[in-house]
């Protein structure tokens, strides 16, 4: 028998992000994530995204996704004011927009009209992952890092956090 003790491998390590990855994160922080301010002084987080509406024809609908809490009385909301990095943008809500509001899941999705709203940048969902099972996603992303873009309550500007090996946390 050997007297050499086995050393434990440290799983926590610095998370590296390439220049291209950093540029992508900065772009998303500057153009796709906003604080949502409503007339009733409620504040929420909203993000611009393109969601698939027709899988066969590869059609996408540009939307803003936010919490239903932010749009609590959505029938009376006429304007959503968005702020990101001290830049203000207003979206007029009328009946011409498609809307999906689900209070049970606390989600509101409202159509964006790019030419009218002057919004041209969106997060895009990778269709290859939308329909995958949880098990396949866990296998593919095991031991990989993710980032989360968010606003801290007391902060004015958007931030992001890196998380390492999130799927390994159920051990």
Three-state secondary structure string covering the chain: CCCCCCCCCCCCCCCCCCHHHHHHHHHHHHHCEEEEECCCCCEEEEEEEEEEEECCCCEEEEEEEECCCCCCCHHHCCEEEEEECCEEEEEECCCCCCEEEECCCCEEEEECCHHHHCCCCCEECCHHHHCCCHHHHHHHHCCCEEEEEECCCCCCCCEEEEEECHHHHHC
* Per-residue model confidence (pLDDT) at position 153: 66
Domain extent for 92? 19-125
* Per-residue model confidence (pLDDT) at position 167: 46
* Per-residue model confidence (pLDDT) at position 159: 84
CATH number, position 78: 2.40.10.10
Instruction: Confirm whether 10 is domain-assigned.
Output: no
Instruction: Confirm whether 11 is domain-assigned.
Output: no
Instruction: Confirm whether 87 is domain-assigned.
Output: yes
Instruction: Confirm whether 83 is domain-assigned.
Output: yes
Instruction: Confirm whether 58 is domain-assigned.
Output: yes
Query: What domain count does the chain have?
Result: 1
Rg (Cα) of the chain, in Å, rounded?
Answer: 20
* Per-residue model confidence (pLDDT) at position 163: 75
* Per-residue model confidence (pLDDT) at position 155: 64
Instruction: Confirm whether 102 is domain-assigned.
Output: yes
* Per-residue model confidence (pLDDT) at position 52: 83
- The Cα 103–Cα 114 span in angstroms is 26
pTM above 0.85, yes or no: no
- The Cα 80–Cα 155 span in angstroms is 20
* pLDDT per residue rounded down to tens, the chain (171 residues): 455 555 555 555 667 788 998 999 999 998 998 888 866 666 778 899 998 887 667 788 999 998 876 665 555 667 888 888 778 888 888 888 998 888 888 888 999 999 999 999 999 877 667 777 888 877 877 777 778 888 776 666 788 888 765 444 444
* Per-residue model confidence (pLDDT) at position 169: 44
Instruction: Confirm whether 68 is domain-assigned.
Output: yes
* Per-residue model confidence (pLDDT) at position 24: 92
């Amino acid at each position: 028998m050997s007297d050499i003790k086995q050393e434990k491998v440290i799983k926590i390590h610095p998370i590296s992000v390439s220049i291209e990855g950093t540029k992508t994160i900065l772009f998303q922080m500057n153009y796709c994530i906003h604080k949502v301010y409503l007339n009733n002084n409620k504040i929420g987080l909203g993000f611009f995204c393109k969601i698939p509406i027709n899988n066969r024809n590869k059609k996408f609908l540009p939307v803003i996704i936010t919490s239903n809490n932010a749009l609590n009385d959505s029938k009376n909301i006429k304007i959503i004011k968005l702020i990101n990095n001290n830049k203000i943008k207003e979206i007029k809500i009328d009946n011409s927009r498609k809307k999906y509001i689900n209070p049970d899941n606390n989600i509101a999705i409202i159509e964006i009209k790019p030419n009218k709203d002057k919004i041209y940048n969106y997060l895009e969902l990778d269709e290859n992952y939308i329909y995958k099972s949880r098990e396949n996603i866990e296998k593919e992303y095991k031991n990989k890092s993710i980032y989360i873009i968010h606003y801290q309550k007391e902060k004015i500007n958007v931030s992001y956090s890196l998380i390492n090996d999130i799927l390994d946390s159920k051990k």
